[in-house]
Amino acid sequence: MPTPKPHPTPGQVASIVDLLAGRRWVALTGAGLSTDSGIPDYRGPDARPTRPIQYGEFIRHADARRRYWARSMQGYRSFGAAPPNPGHTALAALGVPIITQNVDGLHTAAGSTDVVDLHGLIERVACLECGDLTPRRTLQERLEDANPQVTGQIPAGTAELRPDGDADIADPADFVVVPCLRCGGVLKPDVVFFGENVPRERVARSYALVDAAEVLLVAGSSLTVMSGLRFARHAAKAGTPVVIVNHGATRADELAALTVDAGTSETLTAVRAALTAPDAVGS
């Protein structure tokens, strides 16, 4: 059974609101924000050890690509249908700019309009030869047609599904990987794999959002990898308060002005209610 996420106390919510009310702020979000949408995270209390696909492995080995797409096709049957949760909705309602490490696109689906998808989007597929971008749903249809022998669906919220749309399951040896329709090249999800660099323009835009903010709110990220940790370090070095809402410890807790160990959906919903109340400070 999943570990129950603690609810924030009224005092914790009030402390967050005191730091955010009347100030410009930006949210940095991670996989923990999407767990309430049925997408497991990598490092939360209920996460089990996994080995995500490595960029070099995907590029160099056809067998690795076959395994990835075989699992991804099955995982996408649930991943592609995941809805935004109250945490996404709360941030969208507050109109805050967002830097997200997630590839699920749920911030935009919830209505947020200023989003840096730091690691890309699972809903796009890129050809490594000609650069053509196509919708993931189109590729899903092609994969399904080419592999009618692969049946079943991985239920949302189970450990077998991964935050990148992959799935921790056995793959069929006879799986057919389809090529780019334009040039016949190798297709890759338009996301940043482990071992791959985040595009410089996304990093620069993220730093600009942090520099323009008076508070950085981290939600649902352990900040274990440098991709997200660097923004918390950058904010703290500049004297910008860092608020962390996460179920479990993070790598930046010592940098934070405030840490709240609680569920992100519950906390952000409460913060939204407090910030939008008629008598809210700075409203």
- Catalytically active residues are 119
User: Tokens representing 96?
Assistant: 């805050």
DSSP secondary structure letter of residue 193: -
190 is in an annotated binding site: no
| Secondary structure of residue 14 in the 3-state scheme | helix
Q: Return the residue matching tokens 């508070």.
A: 215
What distance in Å separates the CA atoms of residue 242 and residue 143, rounded to the nearest whole number? Answer: 43
Cα→Cα distances 82→54, 107, 155, 253, Å:
24, 12, 11, 30
Phi, psi of 80 (to 5 degrees): -70, -15
Would you list the DSSP string of 113-169? Answer: -SEEETTEEEEEEEETTT--EEEHHHHHHHHHHH-TT----PPTTSTTB-TTS-B-S
- Residues written for the chain: 283
Helix axis angle for 136-146 and 62-79, nearest 10°, is: 110
Measure CA 174 to chain center. 31
Q: Return the residue matching tokens 């990987």.
A: 177
Q: Return the residue matching tokens 């767990």.
A: 35
What distance in Å separates the CA atoms of residue 234 and residue 210, rounded to the nearest whole number? Answer: 8
What distance in Å separates the CA atoms of residue 105 and residue 100, rounded to the nearest whole number? Answer: 9
130 is in an annotated binding site: yes
What distance in Å separates the CA atoms of residue 127 and residue 135, rounded to the nearest whole number? Answer: 12
180 is in an annotated binding site: yes
User: Tokens representing 1?
Assistant: 């059974």
Annotated binding site for Zn(2+): 127, 130, 180, 183
